[in-house]
A and B are shown apart, each in its own frame.
Chain A
């Protein structure tokens, strides 16, 4: 019973940290898809005196990914209803060229302003409309959700680290005498702390296994049947095999730091 309790006291906070890491990974993957959607759906309007090609626009700013020329005829037919052909031709000649310009990434509004400045520096470009207002509100909401989740994960990690340190104190107390006796007889550090490393590695392995198991279940059994659109759409992002490696190395890193803290605080023979 004591054995199980000792392990659980270490496994549970470690799991909390790993859950935080996995949530972050899942959120990053899901939001990447969402970001791509937002980027795809966004374009700015560029008005030029003469036709302009994509390479000229890209030379002005590298974030520009595509440009699509708007049909001037369609615009003229809207504004010149009922006028004769000559007038229509005159309007068409006087009309500037319009382009929908798409970007390669989801940028902050300051990024959009930079692009606008770069484009407007070209003499051929008369006007650039970024539609910054609606873009900004989506960006702010998106950033807020991301920031909130990050704060939650950081908070959870700090609390869990405190719990792990507390458990380390118990380990320190339990193993101090043995490690000190071994030190007196000249045992190297790795031999003195071998038991601690073994216990910590087992706990790291089980924590990784449990957290991976939870997300594996969510992805393959729960998400599909949940009926929640966002879960079904992002089912692929819920868990990846590579996450097991990330989780295991993260837990290894934490336990090694924890064990070293115990080992170094146990140095020296008790009076």
Chain B
């Protein structure tokens, strides 16, 4: 199996001279793995996730994602890398002036797929997350759970190599949470997608084998 993510002596800080949020972390995540990262509030879970999609560069050490060293990567390469990622946010980060249909095919639009392909995929994806009847609505007309399902559908739109999820079920009811876990499990099982979820609590019912890392005192440790 090949490493999709490899952190070596990774230190993360917001700016030079600032206190490190993550210090000297070492871990490897392989293709097709499902990984949970937990830790108390403010421990640096979201910071670690940001570094994985290149929003925060390592202060020290190296972080290699998809074979690219994020500390040395140029803007173009990072852009390219992000097109192979599906990112899910706790606050959804949907485009509120776009319809549900348009939001869900954003990764396809970026990849330059034709309008017909986008429309077909939008129908398929929305059916998958049980939002077909909301296709022409705007995100703010949906409930929190529906918005997050839309966020997950958008993340899955282009069959990404990696899914990064930041507290994906943080504010959701049980029904929406279960739908979202199912979707991510399916992606991992059927498409061999690497899924990395940052959460404060691992769901009680979870059928897939998974790895669990915990962030404590700025370090990242695997829980066996």
Q: Using CB atoms and an 8 Å cutoff, list the residues of chain A in contact with chain B.
A: 177-178, 180-182, 184-188, 191, 268-269
Contacts and interface: CB of A to CB of B under 8 A. Distances in A.
B112 to A, nearest CB: 9
B95 A188 contact: no
Max count, chain B CB within 10 A of own CB: residue among A177, A185, A186, A269: A185
Given A178-B95, A186-B80, 13 more contacts: A177-B95, A181-B93, A182-B106, A182-B110, A185-B107, A186-B78, A186-B81, A186-B107, A186-B110, A187-B109, A188-B79, A269-B50, A269-B55
B97 A184 contact: no
Contacts of B81: 186
In the complex, the 6 A-B pairs of residues with the closest C-beta atoms, listed nearest first: A186-B82, A186-B83, A187-B110, A186-B79, A178-B95, A181-B93
A181 B107 contact: no
Contact of B83 (A180, A181, A185): A185
Contacts of B93: 177, 180-181, 184
Nearest to B53: A184
Interface of B: 50, 53, 55, 78-83, 85, 87, 93-98, 106-107, 109-110
Contacts of B53: 184
A181 B109 CA distance: 13
Contacts of B109: 187, 191
Given A186-B110, A187-B110, A191-B110, A181 B82 contact: no
B106 A181 contact: yes
A8 to B, nearest CB: 20
A186 B157 CA distance: 14
Contacts, number: 46
Contacts of B107: 185-186
Nearest to B95: A178
Contact of B95 (A181, A186, A269): A181
Contacts of B85: 185-186
Given A186-B80, A269-B55, A181 B94 contact: yes
Nearest to A188: B79
A177 B96 contact: yes
A268 B109 CA distance: 20
B139 to A, nearest CB: 11
B55 A185 contact: no
A267 to B, nearest CB: 10
5 contacts: A181-B94, A184-B93, A186-B110, A188-B110, A269-B55
A22 B55 CA distance: 46
Contacts of A186: 78-83, 85, 107, 110
A185 B94 contact: no
Contacts of B78: 186
Given A191-B110, A269-B55, A185 B87 contact: yes
A185 B97 contact: no
A80 to B, nearest CB: 91
